[in-house]
Amino acid sequence: MIKFEKVGKIYPNGVEALKNVSLEVKQGEFVAIIGLSGAGKSTLIKLINKMHGVTSGTLTVNDIKVDKELKGKRLRSFRRQIGMVFQSFNLIGRTSVIRNVLAARVAEMSFIQSLFGIYSKADKIKALEALDKVGILEKAYSRAEQLSGGQQQRVALARTIAQDPSIILADEPVASLDPITANQVMKDFARVNKDLNITVIANMHHVDMALKYAKRVVGIRDGEVIYDGPAKNVNENLLKEIYGRDITDEDIMFKDDEHQI
């Protein structure tokens, strides 16, 4: 489904963010990307929906080559298959939760419908179903700004589900949340992955959350893949190799002994 073949990425300022990356992600996998800040985690997932372009090698997503030829209408159509969840939620605070979720349907609407916000009954049902899947259906008609951070991230996930994607990319989706709320949000990601067979690829700042929820872990150091395998096989020695140092409290969300790695 997603295939990196010797992919490299060099930014215009000369920074080499990824080096010779080869990996394949199958439909329905839950993959966590771990590593230090600046290791290349965000670059890797942003190549998948062509937020950044590949410098070298070949990247294929759903049998489509993600290269310079993928542009215009083809690129917009391609991106509809890929949902994106950010750390910052990206909601319109003064607008109701359901209208935030309905924003995912704009790409399927006519110009007049999108201009005046005319949504079909089917779209409204889809939005409500998406909110139900993340457990906040009762907040559908609340203003987004009235919700807690965790609830807002669940709205962002619901908006992505309403897009009907085959892939969800998440860029540190729980880094700004407290541990209890982060657990709730990650459970939602895991449920969506399992129940809807949507591929989830998430950059994770906190190692313990990555190992708890993802089935597969990709560890990146200085733009290179150091580890790619089952989360259950990741140990302290491997983490030290990926991070180039011992894991600190900054890398762990839960500091108590029960959740320590």
Task: Give me the mean pLDDT over the 107-116 stretch.
Answer: 56
Cα distance between residue 240 and residue 136, in whole Å:
39
Residue 29 — φ and ψ, nearest 5°? -80, 155
H-helix or E-strand spanning residue 3: strand 2-10
Split at pLDDT 50, 70, 90, the class of 121 is confident
Is the same domain home to 59 and 173? yes
Is the same domain home to 191 and 76? yes
Closest CA to 2 of 223, 199, 230, 192: 199
- Provide the pLDDT for residue 88: 83
Is the same domain home to 247 and 177? yes
Split at pLDDT 50, 70, 90, the class of 117 is low
Cα distance between residue 134 and residue 173, in whole Å:
14
- Provide the pLDDT for residue 119: 76
Share of the chain above pLDDT 70, in %: 92
14 φψ region: left (φ > 0), alpha (ψ -120 to 50), beta (else): left
Residue 114 has pLDDT above 60, yes or no: no
Residue 56 has pLDDT above 80, yes or no: yes
Which of these three, 103, 133, 164, is where a domain ends?
164
- Provide the pLDDT for residue 111: 53
The predicted model scores a pTM of 0.89
Residue 258 has pLDDT above 60, yes or no: no
The domain in which residue 108 lies consists of 91-164
Per-residue pLDDT tens for 86-106?
Answer: 888 888 889 999 999 998 876
Is the same domain home to 131 and 7? no
- Provide the pLDDT for residue 115: 52
- Provide the pLDDT for residue 101: 93
Task: Give me the mean pLDDT over the 153-177 stretch.
Answer: 93
Is the same domain home to 59 and 175? yes
In a domain, 196, yes or no: yes
Between these two residues, 258 and 154, which has the higher pLDDT value?
A: 154
Is the same domain home to 35 and 160? no
In a domain, 86, yes or no: no
Between these two residues, 19 and 252, which has the higher pLDDT value?
A: 19
Mean pLDDT (the chain, rounded): 91
Is the same domain home to 57 and 174? yes
Domain count, the chain: 2
- Provide the pLDDT for residue 253: 86
- Provide the pLDDT for residue 233: 96
Q: Name the 3-class secondary structure at 71.
A: coil
Split at pLDDT 50, 70, 90, the class of 28 is very high
Per-residue pLDDT tens for 185-234?
Answer: 999 999 999 999 999 999 999 999 999 999 999 999 999 999 999 999 99
CB 240 within 8 A of CB 231: no
